[in-house]
Structure 1
Amino acid sequence: MSAAAPARYPVPWKLLLPALMLFIAVVLIPLAMTIMLSFHKWGQYTGIEPVFILENWREIWSDSYFHEMFLRTFRIAVAATLLTAICGAPEAYILNRMRAPWKGIFLLIILGPLLISVVARTLGWALLFGGQNGIANKALMSIGLIDTPIPFMFTETGVIIALAHVMMPFMVLSVWAALQRVDPQIENAAMSLGAGPLTIIRRIILPQIMPGILSGGIIVFSLCASAFATPAIIGGRRLKVAATLAYDEFLNTLNWPLGAAVAVLLLMAIVLIVVSSNALIERRYAEAFR
């Protein structure tokens, strides 16, 4: 007798229709309108003219000012991502080794920044930095780490530190999720064979949590590259990035087509980098475990 064919259930397209319509209305239509707007013409006295031109894209491509804005955006995003990886991976490892109730308490502390508005968190960092007489500089000078105040406000250093703090929970959660799949007995077996702590971390722990670090890095990088509030408050008008540049074009100079071109180009660059990085990571791990 032949085995009975498995029952096939119809795909509930009608149930997916409300969510699909909401996605189209909230994401796809505004994105399509922004792309169309980037090809329009703008004049100081005529405003937005609905004609198809490439002038906005040509200006971004040829002007070194825009090159510097995008280069600074991705430089800050890469630095903040590396800082979150360096600090977040050990945090996740320590959190994974904790026992109740300390694990729950420190998990709440790590997730605390996500419970507060990003504007409030950034304003807190602005108060800590506070120029040469800020709390951060006074604390560093009092313990002897520095002799002269470090300029944090309106610098890339301050923006990177503030962004790393804001994005740290995403890295910690990604690495912690990867650590849940690591068998603790592997570490005990390595110790019984004479491996030291550094060898265990380098040869056993790090390779197994690397997918979590890389996935967390992709999330943190994309959020840092598109961040607006933190660069706007900490960086100010002296230190513009792509997001604040698009904001200025929309609301200060009122050149909406140019601002739309900047926003679309930023989105395209982030998507290209994230997709390429994800494909490279998946290919390398597929080759490693083949």
Structure 2
Amino acid sequence: MTVLLSFHDWGQYKGVEPVFILKNWHEIVSDPYYAEMFWRTFRIAILTTLLTAVLGAPEAYILNRMSGRWKSFFLLVILGPLLISVVARTLGWALLFGGNNGVVNKLLMSLGLISTPIPFMFTETGRVVALAHVMMPFMVLSVWAALQRLDPQIENAAMSLGAGSLTIVRRIIMPQIMPGVLSGAIIVFSLSASAFATPAIIGGRRLKVAATLAYDEFLNTLNWPLGAAVATLLLVALVLIVVGSNALIERRYAEVFR
């Protein structure tokens, strides 16, 4: 129904007309405003994915090496964000950011990491940080699942043969956890690109992404056909990216293990 709606016409006084036209699609393709919206959407999703991979993979490795009791406790800590509403989590980040006098800026300045406050609210930086916190459990669980197939004795054998820590990480651990990292990256990227609550609260109305743009077209301007076209294009783009990524990953590992 949403796809069909994207081909309908709309007017301020006539409303939605069930006719088959390409006006909405032509507007999206020809107007650079929409290109910027989608580029911002995928840019934020890519940065969020990279941040979760850099932080989540070591977290999963440390979690995997923990003993039973501590592993259960920290697994609950990692899964904690999933037990809280995404709106509540995002509002918590908004309170932490809190402009130039927010908790995060005060902490960074007290540690001497920055000399001037960093603008987090209504910026892409704040969106990436908040989205990374929301999406981190998906990356950690994906890498942790891959680590379950890793035999710890292989690391001990490499160490007994004189391999250093960096060599063990590069030659043994990384190849084993890469399928988990890539699987987690696909999940995080898809959820980040289609996220609505976090970009809307942290980014506000000034930095729109595809999800908030579709929301505004549906509920503010009431141009349902244009909002449907934006939503459909986002879905198609995500499907193509996920399917293409899966095909490349499968081909890559088929060549490695052939």
TM interval, shorter chain, is: over 0.9
Cα offsets for 1:114-148 (capped at 9, x unmatched): 00000000000000000001000011111111111
Query: Which amino acid in 1 is paired with 2:154?
Result: I
Within a 5 Å distance, the mapping from 1:190-201 to structure 2 comes to: 190-201=158-169
Aligned-partner residue type, residue 48 of structure 1: V
State the TM-score, normalized to the length of structure 1. Answer: 0.89
> Alignment partner of 1:42: what SS?
strand
Q: Which residue of 2 aligns with 1:110?
A: 78
Q: What one-letter code is carried by the residue in structure 1 that aligns with 2:194?
A: S
Task: Encode CA deviations 1:235-272: one digit per residue, 9 max, x unaligned.
Answer: 00011000000000000000000000000000000000
The 3-state SS of whatever aligns with 1:152 is coil
CA distance in 2, matches of 1:67, 1:94: 41
Task: Encode CA deviations 1:73-103: one digit per residue, 9 max, x unaligned.
Answer: 0000000000000000000000000002100
Per the alignment, residue 246 of structure 1 pairs with 214
State the AA in 2 paired with 1:231. Answer: P
1:146 lines up with 2:114 in the alignment: yes
Q: Which amino acid aligns with 2:182?
A: L
Q: 2:157 aligns with which of 184, 189, 193?
A: 189
Distance in 2, matches of 1:91 and 1:198, equals 17
Tell me the amino acid that sits aligned with residue 26 of structure 2.
R
**Which of the residues 198, 213, 226 maps onto 2:181?**
213
| Partner in structure 1 of residue 31 of structure 2 | 63
Map 1:50-129 → 2, pairs under 5 A: 50-129=18-97
Residue 260 of structure 1 is matched in structure 2 by: 228
Structure 1 gap ranges (5+): 1-32
Kindly tell me the number of residue pairs found equivalent between the two proteins.
258
Q: Aligned residue for 1:272?
A: 240
Match of 2:202 among 217, 225, 234: 234
Separation (CA, whole Å) in 1 of partners of 2:54 and 2:64? 16
- Superposition pairs of residues 127-142 of structure 1, within 5 angstroms: 127-142=95-110
What does the per-residue CA deviation read over 1:47-91, in whole Å, with 9 as the maximum and x for residues that have no partner? 001110000000000000000000000000000000000000000
Q: Name segments (4+ residues, structure 1) moved above 2 Å.
A: none
The one-letter code sitting in structure 1 at the alignment partner of 2:141 is L
For residue 183 of structure 1, what is the amino acid of its counterpart? D
Distance in structure 1 (CA, Å) of the matches to 2:142 and 2:93: 25
Unaligned runs of 5+ in 2: none
Instruction: Tell me the distance in 2 between the aligned counterparts of 1:137 and 1:108.
Output: 28
CA distance in 2, matches of 1:202, 1:186: 13
Structure 2 CA distance, aligned partners of 1:209 and 1:147? 38
Q: Deviations over 1:15-56 (max 9, x none)?
A: xxxxxxxxxxxxxxxxxx000000000000000011100000
Following the alignment from structure 1 to structure 2, what is the Cα–Cα distance between the partners of residues 148 and 216? 34
RMSD, matched Cα = 0.4
Q: Which has the higher contact order (CA 8 A, sep 6+)?
A: 2
